[in-house]
A and B are shown apart, each in its own frame.
Chain A
């Protein structure tokens, strides 16, 4: 029990690190140099706003009691009645709420007003995420996705990834394309940041998946059973998380090589995230063969799915839909094929002799998550669009959202960049030094 508690302290800090700074760097590197600070700020502000709100009503709505969609927000308002020895479980769940909201930001790069994001975050957390967390994670008998439908979701394929992916798609459709997309060049400005962010996300994901263990008994009631579950289940989820990610890197690079001729570093970083997304719901349900299969399929399918936006014409800037929605659906649905009764849910999937039952439950779970997030995010998005507005001014967008919304620019390297190098002296100095650097 001491070990479990210590582990939860670490796991919680790890999951917070996934947003600040891992996701911020992952997205920041992929954005343009004139938008990188805003991209990073969207994650940081999500942590601050959603985090406090989670303590206020989030925990209560999620874990304060019964309810199909959510529990009473005021039952445990501001953690009233929650003893401090339970705070770490509140904090752990809080970090999930934070990263789910922050995930959405990748889709709206360069053009969403910061004020609109600040208004969107609390509304979306209370109306969409907190209820979804109840439906999936609280698993009360009447909770919709876990209790009533009985879909397996170990760490948030539905509540986190499908939820964020659908919300991202809705916002992108309401917001419109960036000026110049897809004709203008919008390549990632710093892939080293993105690789670093992907690696840190991977590390944090061990807290995310392995920390999501739910015990069948308490330590005091049955220490032997408690420890047996702790040892075997954390080993399973750790191994599955690792192997699925390896397989997804290979899956992504293979499809990329076949479709576009080169295996890229951005492809490897994206494969990492796609694999982690897909194994999130399945981490406890499958064996290591299942994990490799799910990772490989998710990596390959997401590598193909990120090009859909060009064909369908929606500017999902950093592929939140292509990676999180598609990866989340793949992982959640494939549980229906690869689930084993030896796993955490005790259910056999189609390929393990369990028939179509699990596949049906998983698909229904996905459908509920898509519809719930889609409908309510649309209402929130429309409400903001027709009150304070979603979209940055055209001129500000062209000059760069960092300058327009935060009054800063990330880099002062080139005399030609907006923001930096306005003075003739600064321009000549940086030009001279970089000329020498290039030839050293």
Chain B
């Protein structure tokens, strides 16, 4: 099993969710996060005082999938979240040792 983590632009999140649902992803964890990459922040001025706003708001998705689906899921996220402009985000995949469904105690593949 793999954990696919994606950090994307907030306005793309609804498109990504729809595309993943169509593909068959049944659940995910979503959080509002902030950070920066090459996009950096921006500058705001209040009564002459300049503030560097370093952190940019993003949406983080976390999806646990079968090994076989990982590549497709990454592909879908990249395709739907892409605007081609700086600040589109990142997707990464990490191995998952074990998964348990809390309700039933099902393990691993059966729990996804």
- Is A259 at the interface (CB under 8 A from chain B)? yes
State how many angstroms separate the Cβ of A236 from the closest Cβ of chain B: 32
State how many angstroms separate the Cβ of A309 from the closest Cβ of chain B: 9
Q: Tell me whether A439 and B48 are in contact (CB under 8 A).
A: no
Chain B minimum-CB-distance residue to A182: B49
List chain B residues, Cβ under 8 A from A264: 45-46
State how many angstroms separate the Cβ of B58 from the closest Cβ of chain A: 11
State how many angstroms separate the Cβ of A186 from the closest Cβ of chain B: 8
Q: Tell me whether B49 and A310 are in contact (CB under 8 A).
A: yes
CA distance A395 to B45 in the complex (A): 28
Number of B interface residues at 8 Å Cβ cutoff, please give it. Answer: 17
Among listed B6-14, B68-76, B78-86, B99-107, interface-contacting one: B6-14
Q: Tell me whether B45 and A306 are in contact (CB under 8 A).
A: no
Contact pattern, B 45-67, Cβ under 8 Å of A = 1, otherwise 0:
11111110100000100000000
Q: Tell me whether B30 and A435 are in contact (CB under 8 A).
A: yes
Interface-centre pick from B14, B32, B59 (highest chain A CB count, 10 A): B32
Q: Tell me whether A256 and B48 are in contact (CB under 8 A).
A: yes
Chain B minimum-CB-distance residue to A308: B48
State how many angstroms separate the Cβ of A77 from the closest Cβ of chain B: 43
List chain B residues, Cβ under 8 A from A262: 45
CA distance A310 to B32 in the complex (A): 35
Q: Tell me whether B48 and A187 are in contact (CB under 8 A).
A: no
CA distance A322 to B50 in the complex (A): 17
CA distance A431 to B14 in the complex (A): 16
Interface-centre pick from B11, B30, B45, B53 (highest chain A CB count, 10 A): B45
| A262-B45, A264-B45, A435-B59 as given contacts; A187 in contact with B10, CB under 8 Å | no
Q: Tell me whether A435 and B32 are in contact (CB under 8 A).
A: yes
| A438-B10, A439-B13 as given contacts; A267 in contact with B32, CB under 8 Å | no
Interface-centre pick from A187, A266, A319 (highest chain B CB count, 10 A): A187
Chain B minimum-CB-distance residue to A266: B46
CA distance A266 to B44 in the complex (A): 12
CA distance A434 to B45 in the complex (A): 26
CA distance A187 to B43 in the complex (A): 12
Q: Tell me whether A260 and B45 are in contact (CB under 8 A).
A: yes
Contact pattern, B 1-35, Cβ under 8 Å of A = 1, otherwise 0:
00000000011011000000000000000111000
Q: Tell me whether A307 and B48 are in contact (CB under 8 A).
A: yes
Interface-centre pick from B10, B13, B46 (highest chain A CB count, 10 A): B46
- CB under 8 Å from chain B, chain A span 234-278: 256, 259-262, 264, 266-267, 270
Q: Tell me whether A439 and B51 are in contact (CB under 8 A).
A: no
List chain A residues, Cβ under 8 A from B31: 431
- Is A155 at the interface (CB under 8 A from chain B)? no
Q: Tell me whether A431 and B32 are in contact (CB under 8 A).
A: yes
Number of A interface residues at 8 Å Cβ cutoff, please give it. Answer: 24
Secondary structure of the A side of the interface? helix
List chain A residues, Cβ under 8 A from B48: 256, 259-260, 303, 306-307, 310
- Is A387 at the interface (CB under 8 A from chain B)? no
State how many angstroms separate the Cβ of A151 from the closest Cβ of chain B: 30
- Is A423 at the interface (CB under 8 A from chain B)? no
- Is A84 at the interface (CB under 8 A from chain B)? no
CA distance A261 to B49 in the complex (A): 12
List chain B residues, Cβ under 8 A from A270: 47
State how many angstroms separate the Cβ of B66 from the closest Cβ of chain A: 26
Chain B minimum-CB-distance residue to A432: B30
Chain A minimum-CB-distance residue to B50: A260
Q: Tell me whether A306 and B47 are in contact (CB under 8 A).
A: yes
- Is A185 at the interface (CB under 8 A from chain B)? yes
Q: Tell me whether B11 and A439 are in contact (CB under 8 A).
A: yes
Chain B minimum-CB-distance residue to A319: B47
Chain B minimum-CB-distance residue to A185: B51
Chain B minimum-CB-distance residue to A261: B45
- Is A188 at the interface (CB under 8 A from chain B)? yes
List chain B residues, Cβ under 8 A from A438: 10, 32
List chain B residues, Cβ under 8 A from A259: 48
List chain A residues, Cβ under 8 A from B10: 438-439
Chain B minimum-CB-distance residue to A269: B47
List chain A residues, Cβ under 8 A from B44: 187
Contact of A439 among B14, B45, B50 (CB under 8 A): B14
Chain B minimum-CB-distance residue to A440: B14
Chain A minimum-CB-distance residue to B30: A435
CA distance A301 to B15 in the complex (A): 50
List chain B residues, Cβ under 8 A from A188: 46
State how many angstroms separate the Cβ of B65 from the closest Cβ of chain A: 21
Chain B minimum-CB-distance residue to A270: B47
- CB under 8 Å from chain B, chain A span 316-333: 319, 322
CA distance A185 to B45 in the complex (A): 11
Chain B minimum-CB-distance residue to A265: B46
CA distance A438 to B59 in the complex (A): 11
CA distance A290 to B83 in the complex (A): 55
List chain A residues, Cβ under 8 A from B49: 182, 187, 307, 310
A-B contact list, 8 entries, CB within 8 Å = A182-B49, A187-B49, A259-B48, A260-B48, A260-B50, A266-B46, A306-B47, A439-B10
The 3 tightest CB contacts between A and B, nearest first, are A307-B48, A306-B47, A260-B45
